[in-house]
Amino acid sequence: MSSVAELSSEVDAIRSKLSRYELLISRHEREDKEKDKSIREMRDKHSKEVQNLLKEHKERLSEAVSTVKSRLERQLAEMTAERNGCNDDAKKYKKKSTDLDVKLRTTSAKLKKAHELEQTMQARIAELEGEGKTKSGQAASMQAKIHKMKDVIAELEGVKAQLEAQCAQLTEALMQ
Protein backbone atom coordinates (compact mmCIF):
# COMPACT_ATOMS: atom_id res chain seq x y z
CA MET A 1 0.00 0.00 0.00
CA SER A 2 2.78 2.35 0.82
CA SER A 3 4.37 1.79 -2.58
CA VAL A 4 1.10 2.79 -4.28
CA ALA A 5 0.99 5.94 -2.17
CA GLU A 6 4.63 6.67 -3.02
CA LEU A 7 3.98 6.10 -6.70
CA SER A 8 0.89 8.27 -6.51
CA SER A 9 2.93 10.97 -4.78
CA GLU A 10 5.63 10.75 -7.48
CA VAL A 11 3.00 10.90 -10.22
CA ASP A 12 1.51 14.00 -8.57
CA ALA A 13 4.98 15.59 -8.33
CA ILE A 14 5.67 14.78 -12.00
CA ARG A 15 2.28 16.20 -13.00
CA SER A 16 3.03 19.35 -10.97
CA LYS A 17 6.42 19.75 -12.72
CA LEU A 18 4.81 19.05 -16.07
CA SER A 19 2.18 21.68 -15.38
CA ARG A 20 4.89 24.23 -14.45
CA TYR A 21 6.86 23.41 -17.59
CA GLU A 22 3.75 23.79 -19.71
CA LEU A 23 3.12 27.20 -18.10
CA LEU A 24 6.74 28.22 -18.77
CA ILE A 25 6.52 27.04 -22.38
CA SER A 26 3.26 28.92 -22.84
CA ARG A 27 4.73 32.08 -21.34
CA HIS A 28 7.85 31.83 -23.53
CA GLU A 29 5.70 31.32 -26.63
CA ARG A 30 3.68 34.45 -25.75
CA GLU A 31 6.88 36.41 -25.16
CA ASP A 32 8.30 35.18 -28.49
CA LYS A 33 5.14 36.26 -30.29
CA GLU A 34 5.32 39.68 -28.62
CA LYS A 35 9.00 40.02 -29.56
CA ASP A 36 8.27 38.99 -33.16
CA LYS A 37 5.49 41.56 -33.31
CA SER A 38 7.78 44.21 -31.82
CA ILE A 39 10.51 43.36 -34.32
CA ARG A 40 8.06 43.55 -37.25
CA GLU A 41 6.78 46.91 -36.02
CA MET A 42 10.34 48.22 -35.58
CA ARG A 43 11.33 46.95 -39.04
CA ASP A 44 8.26 48.58 -40.59
CA LYS A 45 9.00 51.82 -38.75
CA HIS A 46 12.63 51.82 -39.93
CA SER A 47 11.56 50.97 -43.46
CA LYS A 48 9.22 53.97 -43.48
CA GLU A 49 11.95 56.18 -42.05
CA VAL A 50 14.39 55.01 -44.72
CA GLN A 51 11.81 55.66 -47.44
CA ASN A 52 11.21 59.15 -46.05
CA LEU A 53 14.95 59.81 -45.90
CA LEU A 54 15.38 58.60 -49.47
CA LYS A 55 12.54 60.83 -50.62
CA GLU A 56 14.01 63.80 -48.74
CA HIS A 57 17.50 63.17 -50.17
CA LYS A 58 16.04 62.82 -53.65
CA GLU A 59 14.26 66.17 -53.31
CA ARG A 60 17.42 67.85 -52.00
CA LEU A 61 19.46 66.32 -54.77
CA SER A 62 16.97 67.50 -57.36
CA GLU A 63 17.15 71.03 -55.96
CA ALA A 64 20.96 70.92 -55.91
CA VAL A 65 21.11 69.64 -59.48
CA SER A 66 18.71 72.35 -60.61
CA THR A 67 20.81 75.01 -58.88
CA VAL A 68 24.05 73.72 -60.38
CA LYS A 69 22.48 73.41 -63.81
CA SER A 70 21.14 76.98 -63.79
CA ARG A 71 24.48 78.30 -62.51
CA LEU A 72 26.36 76.44 -65.25
CA GLU A 73 23.91 77.64 -67.91
CA ARG A 74 24.38 81.20 -66.68
CA GLN A 75 28.17 80.80 -66.73
CA LEU A 76 28.01 79.31 -70.20
CA ALA A 77 25.89 82.24 -71.41
CA GLU A 78 28.38 84.66 -69.87
CA MET A 79 31.31 82.82 -71.44
CA THR A 80 29.55 82.76 -74.81
CA ALA A 81 28.86 86.50 -74.60
CA GLU A 82 32.49 87.12 -73.66
CA ARG A 83 33.70 84.95 -76.56
CA ASN A 84 31.43 86.72 -79.04
CA GLY A 85 32.77 90.10 -77.91
CA CYS A 86 36.35 89.15 -78.79
CA ASN A 87 36.19 89.11 -82.60
CA ASP A 88 38.16 92.31 -83.42
CA ASP A 89 41.55 91.78 -81.85
CA ALA A 90 43.72 88.65 -82.30
CA LYS A 91 45.31 89.17 -78.89
CA LYS A 92 41.89 89.00 -77.28
CA TYR A 93 41.22 85.75 -79.12
CA LYS A 94 44.47 84.29 -77.95
CA LYS A 95 43.88 85.29 -74.32
CA LYS A 96 40.34 83.92 -74.35
CA SER A 97 41.62 80.71 -75.94
CA THR A 98 44.21 80.38 -73.20
CA ASP A 99 41.59 81.05 -70.50
CA LEU A 100 39.27 78.46 -72.01
CA ASP A 101 42.12 75.95 -72.17
CA VAL A 102 42.77 76.55 -68.46
CA LYS A 103 39.07 76.15 -67.69
CA LEU A 104 39.00 73.00 -69.79
CA ARG A 105 41.95 71.51 -67.91
CA THR A 106 40.37 72.51 -64.59
CA THR A 107 37.04 70.98 -65.60
CA SER A 108 38.80 67.81 -66.75
CA ALA A 109 40.63 67.56 -63.41
CA LYS A 110 37.37 68.08 -61.50
CA LEU A 111 35.71 65.43 -63.65
CA LYS A 112 38.51 62.96 -62.96
CA LYS A 113 38.28 63.63 -59.20
CA ALA A 114 34.51 63.21 -59.31
CA HIS A 115 34.91 59.82 -61.05
CA GLU A 116 37.46 58.74 -58.44
CA LEU A 117 35.19 59.86 -55.59
CA GLU A 118 32.27 57.95 -57.10
CA GLN A 119 34.37 54.78 -57.34
CA THR A 120 35.58 55.23 -53.75
CA MET A 121 32.01 55.68 -52.50
CA GLN A 122 30.82 52.61 -54.45
CA ALA A 123 33.65 50.55 -52.97
CA ARG A 124 32.82 51.74 -49.45
CA ILE A 125 29.15 50.80 -49.87
CA ALA A 126 30.14 47.36 -51.17
CA GLU A 127 32.50 46.95 -48.22
CA LEU A 128 29.83 47.90 -45.70
CA GLU A 129 27.29 45.59 -47.31
CA GLY A 130 29.84 42.74 -47.40
CA GLU A 131 30.53 43.09 -43.69
CA GLY A 132 26.85 43.24 -42.87
CA LYS A 133 27.25 46.64 -41.23
CA THR A 134 25.22 48.70 -43.66
CA LYS A 135 23.00 51.08 -41.80
CA SER A 136 20.02 52.30 -43.72
CA GLY A 137 20.75 55.97 -42.99
CA GLN A 138 24.39 55.71 -44.05
CA ALA A 139 23.55 53.73 -47.14
CA ALA A 140 20.87 56.20 -48.16
CA SER A 141 23.26 59.09 -47.60
CA MET A 142 26.00 57.40 -49.59
CA GLN A 143 23.59 56.56 -52.42
CA ALA A 144 22.35 60.15 -52.47
CA LYS A 145 25.92 61.43 -52.65
CA ILE A 146 26.70 59.02 -55.47
CA HIS A 147 23.66 60.10 -57.46
CA LYS A 148 24.58 63.73 -56.87
CA MET A 149 28.13 63.04 -58.01
CA LYS A 150 26.86 61.28 -61.15
CA ASP A 151 24.73 64.31 -61.99
CA VAL A 152 27.65 66.66 -61.36
CA ILE A 153 29.89 64.42 -63.49
CA ALA A 154 27.39 64.52 -66.34
CA GLU A 155 27.17 68.29 -66.11
CA LEU A 156 30.97 68.61 -65.98
CA GLU A 157 31.27 66.39 -69.04
CA GLY A 158 28.81 68.67 -70.84
CA VAL A 159 30.79 71.75 -69.81
CA LYS A 160 33.99 70.03 -70.90
CA ALA A 161 32.52 69.28 -74.34
CA GLN A 162 31.34 72.87 -74.67
CA LEU A 163 34.75 74.21 -73.64
CA GLU A 164 36.47 71.92 -76.16
CA ALA A 165 34.14 73.20 -78.87
CA GLN A 166 34.86 76.79 -77.86
CA CYS A 167 38.60 76.13 -77.91
CA ALA A 168 38.31 74.64 -81.37
CA GLN A 169 36.36 77.68 -82.59
CA LEU A 170 38.90 80.08 -81.09
CA THR A 171 41.78 78.12 -82.58
CA GLU A 172 40.07 78.21 -85.96
CA ALA A 173 39.51 81.97 -85.60
CA LEU A 174 43.20 82.46 -84.75
CA MET A 175 44.20 80.52 -87.86
CA GLN A 176 42.24 82.91 -90.14
What residues of the chain score a pLDDT lower than 50? none
Q: Are the C-beta atoms of residues 149 and 121 closer than 8 Å to each other?
A: yes
pLDDT of 131 reads 63
pLDDT of 113 reads 78
pLDDT of 58 reads 84
CB atoms within 10 A of CB 107: 21
Q: Are the C-beta atoms of residues 65 and 148 closer than 8 Å to each other?
A: yes
Rounded distance between C-alpha atoms, residue 148 and residue 61, angstroms: 6
Residues 6+ apart with CB under 8 A from 159: 72, 76, 107
pLDDT of 50 reads 83
Radius of gyration for the chain, computed over Cα atoms and rounded to the nearest angstrom: 35
pLDDT of 133 reads 54
pLDDT of 89 reads 57
Where does the chain show beta strands of DSSP type E? none
pLDDT of 86 reads 55
Query: What are the helix and strand counts (H, E) for the chain?
Result: 3, 0
Rounded distance between C-alpha atoms, residue 56 and residue 105, angstroms: 35
pLDDT of 1 reads 54
Domain boundary assignment for the chain: 2-175
Residues 6+ apart with CB under 8 A from 174: 90, 93, 94, 97
